[in-house]
Amino acid sequence: MKPLLPLSAMLLLTSAATLTRAQDQTAPATTGSTTAAPDSTSPSATTNSTDKVLLRLHLQSGQNYLMRQTTNSKVTQILPQMGTTPPQRMDLTTINSIAMLYAVQQVDANGTAAVKVSYRSIQVKFSGKMGQQPMPYTTYDSDHPGKSASPIATIYKALIGQSVSMKISSDGHISDIQGLTNIKKRLLSSMNSLSGGKEASAAVSKMMGAFLDDRTFKASMEKMTATYPEHEVGIGDSWPFQLTLPEQLPLVVKGIRTLKERKDGIAYIEEKGNIQLNANKPLMTVNHLDLIYHLGGTQTGMTQLDEATGFVGKATMEQRFSGTITMTGMDTLKTPLRQSKVALPHSASYPLYSKTTIQITTEPFKPAGL
């Protein structure tokens, strides 16, 4: 049987809708970051480290930042027995690096910034093995695209050069999203060339389309960007956070952030949280198989936040998942196993283990010609 789409691949498909969280938050699920040092005349550069600080975005018109997020994900699945085929272990490793340009176009009197976010470059490497048998190696580099028909390359290739405009308030709330429809059309169009049959392509297209719905996109973004503490905080102070993605991926992250240190205008924020993904209804249907995920884990990280801009400069985060995936509808499969009258159960569950590390760096960017 073909390997099923793992959670890491599902989350990878949503990165177009969630990646922009890293720029304007004390990044919860992806971070630990530092930007350029603030100007020496900035109040936050001379503030006594024992004082309290109100962490907010303080962007200025004309500023440009290049953010790069590198994700290394390792997933292990134990696929269930199919007829006379014994259970098999499948190991998947995905490394992807995405660079995005954040251009601050204007800032109003209330501190709300109009920001244009553009996809600059993407590098992806995918490898794995089924038992002792290596799986096809996939790599894609937007700077040297070559020819690749892999699903990941197809999706990311459609993103290069595309942009989304939005307004972000000083406390991280998002409004007036523009350009999402064009990206959605490009991505859905690219799905037509996916291998794996029309049904697999349609399933991925449906999932991607749901995540890029305007309302869902805004909800996802706000849950991730509106994460600054409500009040001023000092060293040792903690505040709770909770992230809940929409029903297409019922992922809930709950935890605590703590201001650990303030030094040279940088706020060091520690994050500890728990992750739950409990879907009592299928997240995907592929080849007549419904996939239901029950996963849990932890998320830890350290974020370095530039107090002068409120921007994440460097961040490191680790996520660990474990749980089960349940397939239902196996007894309806039309396969050689069925033709040979080998009985298949209606459903089967198998374990999944995942470890993901995410690193983010952000630095000022000067476009060519300026």
Q: What is the pLDDT of residue 20?
A: 33
Nearest partner of 270 among 230, 238, 306, judged by Cα: 238
Q: What is the pLDDT of residue 21?
A: 34
Question: Strands 64-79 and 88-107: what pairing?
Answer: antiparallel
CB 304 within 8 A of CB 312: yes
**Cβ contacts of 258 within 8 Å, gap of 6 or more:** 236, 237, 238, 269, 270, 271
Q: What is the pLDDT of residue 42?
A: 38
Alpha-carbon separation of residue 42 from 47, 307, 329 (angstroms): 9, 9, 62
Q: What is the pLDDT of residue 286?
A: 60
**Per-residue tokens: 304:** 């370095």
Query: 154 by DSSP, 3-state: which?
Result: helix
Nearest-angstrom CA–CA distance, 209 and 31: 26
CB 3 within 8 A of CB 70: no
**Per-residue tokens: 234:** 């000092």
Task: Measure the CA angle with vertex 23, ends 22 and 29; round to 5°.
Answer: 15
Tokens 């429809």, located at residue: 181
Task: Measure the CA angle with vertex 28, ends 275 and 156; round to 5°.
Answer: 90
The rounded Cα 247 to chain-centroid distance in angstroms is: 16
Nearest-angstrom CA–CA distance, 331 and 319: 35
Query: 107 by DSSP, 3-state: which?
Result: strand
| Burial call 282-311: b when 16+ CB within 10 Å, e when fewer | bbbbbbebbbbbebebebebbbbbbbbbbb
pTM for this one? 0.75
Q: What is the pLDDT of residue 49?
A: 53
Q: What is the pLDDT of residue 29?
A: 33
| Burial call 170-208: b when 16+ CB within 10 Å, e when fewer | bbbebeebeebeebbebbbebbeebeeeeebbebbbebb
Per-residue pLDDT of the chain (370 residues; tens, 9 = 90+): 333 333 343 433 333 333 333 333 333 333 333 333 334 333 344 445 568 999 998 999 999 999 999 999 999 988 776 666 677 889 999 999 999 899 999 999 999 999 999 999 999 888 999 888 898 878 888 888 776 556 667 777 888 999 999 998 998 888 898 998 888 888 777 776 655 556 555 656 666 666 666 766 676 666 556 568 989 999 999 999 887 765 556 778 899 999 999 999 999 999 999 988 766 665 666 666 777 778 899 999 999 999 998 888 899 999 998 988 887 765 555 444 444 444 555 667 778 899 999 999 989 988 765 5
Nearest partner of 211 among 238, 183, 241, judged by Cα: 183
Q: What is the pLDDT of residue 186?
A: 84
**Per-residue tokens: 335:** 């396969």
Q: What is the pLDDT of residue 52?
A: 93
For the chain, counts of helices (H) and of strands (E): 8, 14
Tokens 């942009």, located at residue: 163
Nearest-angstrom CA–CA distance, 267 and 311: 10
Beta strands in the chain (DSSP E): 64-79, 88-107, 113-130, 133-134, 138-141, 163-168, 174-178, 238-244, 251-263, 266-278, 284-286, 289-306, 312-328, 347-364
Tell me phi and psi for residue 13, to 5 degrees.
-65, -20
Q: What is the pLDDT of residue 106?
A: 96
Q: What is the pLDDT of residue 201?
A: 59
Q: What is the pLDDT of residue 222?
A: 65
CB 305 within 8 A of CB 55: yes
